[in-house]
Amino acid sequence: MKQLEIDNLHFELMIDENQIQKRIRLIGTDINHRYEQKNPVFIGVLNGCFMFMTDLLKQVVIPCEISFVKLASYEGTDQGKMSELIGLGIDLQGRDVIIVEDIVDSGNSLKYTIEAIERQLPASVVVCTLLLKPECLQYDFENIQYVGFEIEKEFVVGYGMDYNGLGRNIPDIYKNIIV
């Protein structure tokens, strides 16, 4: 089993790059079919989505637009308090929007992102996430349309996800293990 260490935390391979790419091809095929005549807007939530969104959009062959946003949190408060969505510089009124996330766990940031986008009155909003932790969700989301993999309450790194800023560039996904 492949393992790695980041800042004294130990990780073992959870999902390899080939599995990730196979799943992304399937999601891309579905998006191409569903949005064939619609010209959707893909909105990636940085920083974690960059690898997933890049590989996903290599599979999307229909006309589309791409934008990125970043969430800012209130300083000195818990992670559940978002202050603003930075970078949404595109008019979404009447558009079909696909939010691209690396991972959805509690759902706090996703809820904030969806609400900010819905204020612009898009035609539709769906979510495409590489990883979903169903046990951790604090909200019900009817618009999570595409899920790469459902995982347990594990701490993961790689493929855009980090630990202390490290590990985003790893092509596989690793889960934390207790040594």
Q: What is the pLDDT of residue 44?
A: 96
Q: What is the pLDDT of residue 76?
A: 43
Q: Which member of 55, 102, 105, 172 is catalytic?
A: 105
Alpha carbons 10 and 137: distance in angstroms, whole number: 25
**39-84, pLDDT tens digit by residue?**
999 999 999 999 999 999 999 999 999 999 998 755 444 445 656 7
Spell out the domains of the chain, with CATH numbers in brackets: 3-31+39-177 (3.40.50.2020)
Q: What is the pLDDT of residue 78?
A: 47
Q: What is the pLDDT of residue 81?
A: 60
Q: What is the pLDDT of residue 1?
A: 77
Q: What is the pLDDT of residue 75?
A: 47
User: Which amino acid is present at 110?
Assistant: L
Q: Any catalytic annotation for residue 78?
A: no
Cis peptide, bond prior to residue 143, ω within 30 of zero: no
Q: What is the mean pLDDT of each run of 10 residues along the chain (179 residues)?
A: 92 98 98 97 95 98 95 54 74 97 94 93 98 95 96 96 95 92
Give DSSP secondary structure letters for the chain.
Answer: --EEEETTEEEEEEE-HHHHHHHHHHHHHHHHHHTTTT--EEEEEETTTHHHHHHHHHH--S--EEEEEEEEEPTTS-TT-EEEEE---S--TT-EEEEEEEEESS-HHHHHHHHHHHTT--SEEEEEEEEE-GGG--S--TTEEEEEEE--S--EEBTTB-BTTB-TT-SSEEEEE--
17-34 and 50-59 helices cross at what angle (nearest 10)?
A: 50
